[in-house]
Amino acid sequence: MVTGELETLMKCSNEDLMPSGGNISKHRTKDVSTTYCFCLWTQGQMRDASMTIQMALHLDKRNKKFDDLPIIYFVTPTYPRREQVAELTRLGQTLMHIVNLHWIIADDVPTCNTMVGKLLKKFGIPFTHIASPMPDVYRKSSVVPRGVANRRAALGWIRKNIHSGVLYFGDDDNTFDLELFDEIRFTKKVSMFPVGLIGDYSVSSPVLKEGKVIGFFDSWPAKRKFPVDMAGFAVNIGFLLSHPHATMPYKAGYEEDQFLVSLGLKLEDIEPKGNACTEGRFTRGNYRSDD
Amino acid sequence: MVTGELETLMKCSNEDLMPSGGNISKHRTKDVSTTYCFCLWTQGQMRDASMTIQMALHLDKRNKKFDDLPIIYFVTPTYPRREQVAELTRLGQTLMHIVNLHWIIADDVPTCNTMVGKLLKKFGIPFTHIASPMPDVYRKSSVVPRGVANRRAALGWIRKNIHSGVLYFGDDDNTFDLELFDEIRFTKKVSMFPVGLIGDYSVSSPVLKEGKVIGFFDSWPAKRKFPVDMAGFAVNIGFLLSHPHATMPYKAGYEEDQFLVSLGLKLEDIEPKGNACTEGRFTRGNYRSDD
């Protein structure tokens, strides 16, 4: 596999090809309001540039078999800005530690960005690169629903191509403790945990009584049934597929809640993680106090 | 080794003990203007909490021998703020990829912070944790020389305890490409490379002619001989030790330049990295365009 082939495919033709499982593939499909373009890059394929010591050791690890571990589908919405490569680099270097992880990067651009595609190849992580522009109508909203088109595109790809595993939404500017991944990997329906550096209270978390979730602590309840952050929960993909109409609305601030409601989630279904929700595993980006 | 022992040592007694090479040690010394406190945590010692899959694989890697690779002493000045743990987590998860690296974390606090100490143990990286408060006299400056007391403390520890390897200054909010570490590891005197997302030009870099550094491109020259960023260079520790009076001044904006000048560095000594300074390996923090 040479780099040139990937670049060609990133331009995305009009053909409707399904990923063929094990090689670069592309897939184009229609949503209600936009068109997505996919480029799939699978495990075992690496850049043809000289390999660093770190990368060689990383691949040693990846080549071990972990057949009994469900795959985590880590969905990252992103958008063009000058720090995009830096943020994706930092996140990619965290995800490199995680075995059986497939990274879905959905970019708010009309066609896959070549620079981002080249960067993604560097990590040696199986990934799907999606161009998923926000429909123009939402760019004019007073509160723009950022990342929704990207996450909907990722959900669409998962519904078409994946049968099991765990879904997790992780933005490119956040910090993820490695323990998070062990904890969410065996999610049965929906798991949840505290999120740090968010909102006026600086923490958002499920509230537990005798090990069961009975409510939520969040500085912006806004009459939401599930006042949680986008990266404060993980979803079993079998459970997702059993709700074929579950989706995320273009409604800023209510994306998480309405997605979880559309899954028919009940409080008693929630699996609390993070040492019974006493420890955070994830912190929001945009948290600087002294910029 | 149990956690309790580390915590006790972090309080730092008045005894003047040198690190004993292979176990937790402490060292207290006097600078012109402040007192530092050290806690050394060495390779092979791990937290006694349950180990994640990622951590087990990480230790597999660390247990391989790389005797022919010089050790990189990665110096990170840090200070208490609400995002400190998040920033150190993200950086630590990048440094976990690097073999033969010793992390020196120097915190702007009077005594080692227990929470930071516990966090550092999680990464399985050999580290030295230093409490190096900025002298009060500099806190009142119109432009505060942040990080200088920390870096001076790290230099002091290196001078007393280390004989070879490579010194690198890396802040906790920056992004480091893994290729950086391969490139600086065999630095003979001083290596340099471009830095991204910095200043009005968004890049700071040595300028090359026929493979040799002939000048610098930086948006704030300020009559500096070496207008470079703190993390835009690495120094061979033998070279550092051959200049026993080399140090960093408490002069905001001029720390890098005057440190390099105090090393007697000449333009022709500089080893350009980053594919002949055409590619960045490092980007500054505080770079957000849309906070």
Q: Which residues of B touch A201 (CB under 8 A)?
A: none
Query: Which domain does B100 fall in, by range?
Result: 54-283
For A220-265, how does the pLDDT look when each residue is reduced to its tens digit (9 = 90+)? 999 999 999 998 999 999 999 999 999 999 999 999 999 999 999 9
Residue type for position B44: G
> Is B166 inside a domain boundary?
yes
CB B190 within 8 A of CB B260: yes
Tell me which residue of B171, B166, B196 sits closest to B181, measured CA to CA. B166
For the cut 70, the answer to whether the pLDDT of residue B21 exceeds it is no
Measured in angstroms, the CA of B101 and the nearest CA of chain A are apart by 12
Domains in chain A, number? 1
Task: Say yes or no: B202 contacts chain A, CB-CB below 8 A.
Answer: yes
- How many percent of chain B have pLDDT more than 90? 64
Chain A from 73 to 102: CB within 8 A of any B CB = 81-83, 85-87, 89-90, 93-94, 96-99
Tell me which residue of B151, B156, B153 sits closest to B168, measured CA to CA. B151
Q: Choosing among A58, A78, A83, which should be mutated to test the B contact, i.e. which has the most B CBs within 10 A?
A: A83
| Closest B-chain CA to A185 | B53
Of A231 and B50, the one with more pLDDT = A231
Task: Say yes or no: B11 contacts chain A, CB-CB below 8 A.
Answer: no
Q: Is the Cβ pair A290, B81 closer than 8 Å?
A: yes
Measured in angstroms, the CA of B13 and the nearest CA of chain A are apart by 31
> Is A22 inside a domain boundary?
no
Q: Which residues of A touch B58 (CB under 8 A)?
A: 97
CB B58 within 8 A of CB B124: yes
> Is B289 inside a domain boundary?
no
> Is B288 inside a domain boundary?
no
A214, A278, B102 from A210: Cα distances, Å: 9, 13, 43
Residues 6+ apart with CB under 8 A from A200: A219, A220
Instruction: Give the model's pLDDT for residue B251.
Output: 94
Measured in angstroms, the CA of A54 and the nearest CA of chain B are apart by 6
Q: How confident is the prediction for chain A on average, in pLDDT?
A: 82
Q: Give per-residue burial for B154-175: e unless 16+ CB within 10 Å, then b.
A: bbbbbeebbeebbbbbbbbbbb
Instruction: Give the model's pLDDT for residue A45.
Output: 43
d(CA A155, CA A130): 11
Q: Is the Cβ pair B99, A283 closer than 8 Å?
A: no
The answer to ipTM > 0.90 is no
For the cut 80, the answer to whether the pLDDT of residue B82 exceeds it is yes
B200 is in an annotated binding site: no
Instruction: Give the model's pLDDT for residue A286.
Output: 58
For the cut 50, the answer to whether the pLDDT of residue B91 exceeds it is yes
For the cut 60, the answer to whether the pLDDT of residue A290 exceeds it is no
For the cut 50, the answer to whether the pLDDT of residue B57 exceeds it is yes
For B100-133, how does the pLDDT look when each residue is reduced to its tens digit (9 = 90+)? 999 999 999 999 999 999 999 999 899 999 999 9
Instruction: Give the model's pLDDT for residue A49.
Output: 41
Of the residues B83, B256, B268, B279, only one is catalytic, namely B256
Instruction: Give the model's pLDDT for residue B52.
Output: 65
Q: Is the Cβ pair A175, B90 closer than 8 Å?
A: yes
Q: Choosing among A74, A115, A174, A178, which should be mutated to test the B contact, i.e. which has the most B CBs within 10 A?
A: A178
Instruction: Give the model's pLDDT for residue B47.
Output: 40
Token code pair at residue B212: 């040799």
**Average confidence (pLDDT) over B271-284:** 85
The reply to whether B179 belongs to the active site is no
For A1-55, how does the pLDDT look when each residue is reduced to its tens digit (9 = 90+)? 323 333 333 333 323 322 332 222 233 333 334 456 666 554 444 443 445 666 6
Measured in angstroms, the CA of B52 and the nearest CA of chain A are apart by 6
Give the three-class secondary structure for A49. Answer: coil
> Is B34 inside a domain boundary?
no
Q: Is the Cβ pair B289, A182 closer than 8 Å?
A: no
Lowest mean pLDDT among A207-221, B70-84, B189-203: B189-203
Per-residue three-class SS string for chain B: CCHHHHHHHHCCCCCCCCCCCCCCEEEEEECCCCEEEEEEECCCCCCCCCCCHHHHHHHHHHCCCCCCCCCEEEEEEECCCCCHHHHHHHHHHHHCCCCCEEEEEEECCCCCCHHHHHHHHHCCCCEEEEECCCCHHHHCCCCCCCCHHHHHHHHHHHHHHCCCCEEEECCCCCEECCHHHHHHCCCCCEEECCEECCCCCCEEEEEEECCEEEEEECCCCCCCCCCCCCCCEEEEHHHHHCCCCCCCCCCCCCHHHHHHHHCCCCHHHEEECHHHHCCCCEECCCCCCCC
> Is B19 inside a domain boundary?
no
Chain A from 182 to 201: CB within 8 A of any B CB = 182, 196-197
> Is A191 inside a domain boundary?
yes
CATH number at residue B119: 3.90.550.10
CB B185 within 8 A of CB B271: no
Q: Give me the half-sphere count of Cα atoms (radius 13 Å) on the Cβ side of residue A67.
A: 0
Closest CB from A93, A177, A196 relative to B178? A93
Q: Give me the half-sphere count of Cα atoms (radius 13 Å) on the Cβ side of residue B164.
A: 8
DSSP for A133-168, written as a single string? PPPHHHHTSSS--TTHHHHHHHHHHHHHH--SSEEE
Residue B36: pLDDT band (50, 70, 90) is low
For the cut 60, the answer to whether the pLDDT of residue B20 exceeds it is no
Closest CB from A53, A69, A202 relative to B182? A53
DSSP for A192-241, written as a single string? E--EES-TTTSEEEEEEETTEEEEEE-S--TT-SS---TTSEEEEHHHHH
For B211-240, how does the pLDDT look when each residue is reduced to its tens digit (9 = 90+)? 999 999 999 999 999 999 998 999 999 999
Q: Is the Cβ pair A288, B290 closer than 8 Å?
A: no
d(CA B136, CA B149): 11
> Is A46 inside a domain boundary?
no
Of the residues A87, A256, A271, A279, only one is catalytic, namely A256
